[in-house]
Structure 1
C-alpha cells in the first residue's frame, strides 16, 4: 500500500496542512508585488537599476539576519508562535507605507520592506519545514510543492495588482495598507488556533530509531549553496522582467506586468501544482533535473534573442523554476538527519541570495547598456542546480 500524503502512524494532518498552506499565498503576494516596485522607484525617485535593487536587498537580506532568531522562536514556543510573529511583523511593515507618503524617501520604503522581510522570514521558517512533517516522510516533497502552489497564486496576484495600481498613478500606500490590515487580522486568527506539533507525536514516537541518523555534511552544504543560487536566480529574473520586456521586447510597463502575472506566474503556479502531483510517481530529483535543463535553455534564449521568442522563453523559464525551491529545500532537509530545526533556519538564510543577484544584474545592465547580458547571472545559477540534481543519491 502506498503511503498517504497527509496521514502517518494514525495521525491525520489534512486540516493543519490546509491552514498553514494558506500562508504561502500571503508571502507569494508580498514577493510578487515587490517585482513591480523596481521600475516604479526608478521613475519616482530617478534612480539607477542597481540602486532600485535595494528593494530586493532589504527583503532578502532580512532572511539572512532573521532566520536564526525565527528558528529560536519556533524551537522555544512552537510553530504557531513563529507564524503569528511573522504575520505581526509583515503587517507592521506594510502599514509603514502609509506614513511613507509624508516622508517620501526611497530609503524609508527600503526600511519598511526590511521589516516585511523579517516577517516573511518567520513565516517561511515556520511553514516550509512544518509542511514536510505533516504526513508520511516519503511524501514530503509532494506536500511542500502543493503548499507552494498557493505561493504561486500569490506571485500571480502580486504583480497584477501592483502593476495595475502603480503604473496608473495610484499611491503605493494603497495596496500595502490593505495587505497590512488583512495580515494583522489573520495573525489574530492564528493566535487563537491550535496547531498540532508533530515533534510531540510521530517524531517523539520514533525518537529511538532516529537518534543515530547523522547529518550528511557534504550533501547538505551543496543543498545550501544550490538553494542560495536558486533564490538569486529567481529574484534576479523577477526583478528585471519588466525592464527586459520594455527594452528588448518593446512592451509597455503595464502590459508587461500583465504578462508577468498571467503568463510567467501563471505557469509558475501550474508547474508547482503539476510537480506536486508528479512527485507521487516520479523521484523528485529527476523532475528537478528536467526543470533545470529547461531553465538553462530558456535563459540562453533570453540572453541571445529578443522579441516574442524571448517572451516565450520567459514563460518556459517560469514553468521550469516552479518546483525548484520547495524541492531543493526538502531534499536538502533530508540530508540534515535529526538536525531538522537548525537545518531549516540555515536553509531559510539562503534566501539572502535574492539580495545579491538583482544588484549584480542591475550593475551589469547599467554598465553594458544591455539588460539581456545581465541574465548570464541566473544562467550560471541554473547550471549549478542541474549539477545538484544530477549528483543526488537515493
Structure 2
C-alpha cells in the first residue's frame, strides 16, 4: 500500500474519533445502505419482465427502462457531490434515502394508473437517490476507522451489497412475478387488458414495503451520532492537484471505459436473464420460476468477491482480473451456442466471474493518482452510467434474437481482459493520498 498522507490520517481521526466501537457501529449502519441499494437495484431484474408483459413492450423498450436507471448516475453524480459539499455527509445520506422513498411511492402511482412514462420517471428518481448514497457513502466508509484497514472495510460492505442483490430476486419473484398472471404464465402468453391492469397493481405492495424501510432507515441515520469527516484536508490538496493531469494516468484513462463497458455486460445479463431462461429451448420456465434462479447469479457474485479477496492476498489483482475475464468470455460463448440447462447454468456462472470486476477495476483505476484520487474516483463512478447502454443489447435482441445478443457481453469481457493485461498498468504514478475504493 502507498504511504498514507496527512489527509487520510486526519480524515480517519475525525471519523473514527479514536473510538473503535464508534466507527464499528457507524460501519454497521452504513453497511445497511450498501445492502439496500443493491437490493433495490436488482429488483429491476424481476420488474423488467413484469413490465414487458404489462405494457406489451419489445426488448428495446424493456431495456430502455434500465437505461433510464443508469442515465441517472451520469446526471446525478456531479449535483450529488455539490450537495454533499453544501450540507455534509450525514444529511446527504438521509436525503438520498428520502429521495429513494419518494421514487418508490411514485412507483405506486405509476402502477395505479398504470403508466410506462411515469414508471420511467420514478425509476430515474430512485436511481438518483442511490447515486447520492454512492457518492456519499463510498468515501465515508474509506475513512470511518483506521486508514490501514480501509480496504477491508470496503470489501465487507461490498459483500453486503452482494447479499442484497442475492436476496432481491426471491423478493421480486414472490411479490411481483408470483402475484401476477404474466409472471406465472408460460412465455409469450398474451394478456387481456384486465389482466394487465391487475398485474400492474401487483407492484404496489413491494414498493410500499420498500418505501417504509427506506424512511425508517433515514430516521435512524438522521438520529445516529455518525462521526464527522474532516473537511480541511480536501482544501489543502487543491494546490497539489493543479500541478498534475488525470489524463497522464493510463490506468485511469482506460479504467473509465472499463467500468463503462463492464456495466453493459453485468446489467445486460441480469436484466435479460429471466426472459432468456424462460425460452422453450433453454429451460422453459415461467417468469416466476426463472426469477428464483437469479438468486444463484447474484449469489455467485457474492461468493466470488469473498474468494477473490482471499486469492488477492497472494495473486496480483491484474492477474486475477485477467483470469476472471477469460472465464466470463468462455461461459458467455457457451450461453450463446448451446441450449437447455447447459446454456442456463453457463449464464448463471458468469456472476461468479463478474464478481471481482467492478471493485478490482476501480482500485486499479485510481492507483497512483495521489492528490487526484478524488477526481479520478468521481469519473469512475460516473462511468457506472454504462449500464444505460443495455438498450443496445435490447435492440440486438429484437433484430437477431435474445440468445445471439449475448455476443455483445462476450465482446465486453474481451475489453476487460485488455485492461487487465495492459490498460491497468499505472503511468506517472503519484503517492496516494488515501486508500479509496467503491462498491456497486
What is the deviation of 1:287?
2.5
> Is residue 65 from structure 1 mapped to residue 65 from structure 2 by the alignment?
no
In the TM superposition, what is the alpha-carbon distance from 1:140 to its structure 2 partner? 4.8
Preserved CA contact (<8 Å) 1:90 1:116: yes
Q: 2:377 aligns with which of 344, 347, 369?
A: 344
Question: For the residues of structure 1 that align with 2:111 and 2:338, how far apart are their CA atoms?
Answer: 40
What is the rounded CA distance, in whole Å, between the counterparts of 2:105 and 2:350 in structure 1?
A: 34
Taking only aligned residues, the RMSD between alpha carbons, in angstroms, comes to: 2.9
Among candidates 247, 251, 270, match of residue 285 of structure 2: 251
Q: Cα distance 1:339–1:88, how it changes in 2: closer, same or farther (>3 A)?
A: farther
Moved more, 280-289 or 119-128: 280-289
Query: Closer, same or farther in 2 for the Cα pair 1:366/1:387, shift >3 Å?
Result: same
Question: Gapped runs of 5+ residues in structure 2?
Answer: 4-8, 181-201, 427-440
1:71–1:341 Cα contact (<8 Å) kept:
no
Q: 1:36·1:163 contact (CA, 8 Å) conserved in 2?
A: yes
- SS of the counterpart of 2:57? coil
**Counterparts of 2:82 and 2:410, CA distance in 1:** 35
CA distance in 2, matches of 1:34, 1:335: 36
- In the superposition, the TM-score normalised over structure 1's length comes to 0.89
- Comparing 343-352 with 63-72, greater Cα deviation is found at 343-352
Task: For residue 237 of structure 1, report the CA deviation from its aligned partner.
Answer: 0.6
Which 5+ residue runs of structure 1 have no aligned equivalent?
none
Verify the 8 A CA contact 2:237 2:371 in the aligned structure 1: no
Aligned 8 A contact 2:50 2:177 in 1 = yes
Alignment correspondent of 2:321: 288
**1:232 to 1:142, Cα distance in 2 relative to 1, 3 A:** farther
- Give me the whole-angstrom Cα distance separating, in 2, the residues matched to 1:334 and 1:78: 27
SS of 1:372's partner is helix
**Offset of residue 142 of structure 1:** 4.2
How has the CA–CA distance of structure 1 residues 180 and 288 changed in structure 2, closer, same or farther, with 3 Å as cutoff? same
Q: 1-side partners of 2:312 and 2:37: how far apart?
A: 24
Secondary structure at the residue paired with 1:378? helix
Shift of 1:197: 4.5
Q: How far 1:324 sits from its partner (Å)?
A: 1.4
**Partner of residue 301, structure 1:** 334
Inter-CA distance 303–258: structure 2 relative to 1 (3 Å threshold):
same
Q: Which residue of 2 aligns with 1:85?
A: 95
Alignment partner, residue 30 of structure 1: 40
Aligned match for 1:111, one of 108, 117, 121: 121
Aligned residues: 388
Q: Is residue 375 from structure 1 mapped to residue 406 from structure 2 by the alignment?
A: yes
Q: TM-score, normalised by structure 2?
A: 0.80
Structure 1 residues 41 and 251 mapped into 2: Cα distance closer, same or farther (>3 Å)? same
Cα distance in 1 between the residues matched to 2:88 and 2:146:
21
Deviations 1:107-162 (A, max 9, x none): 11111101001001101112223333445667555432321111111112211111
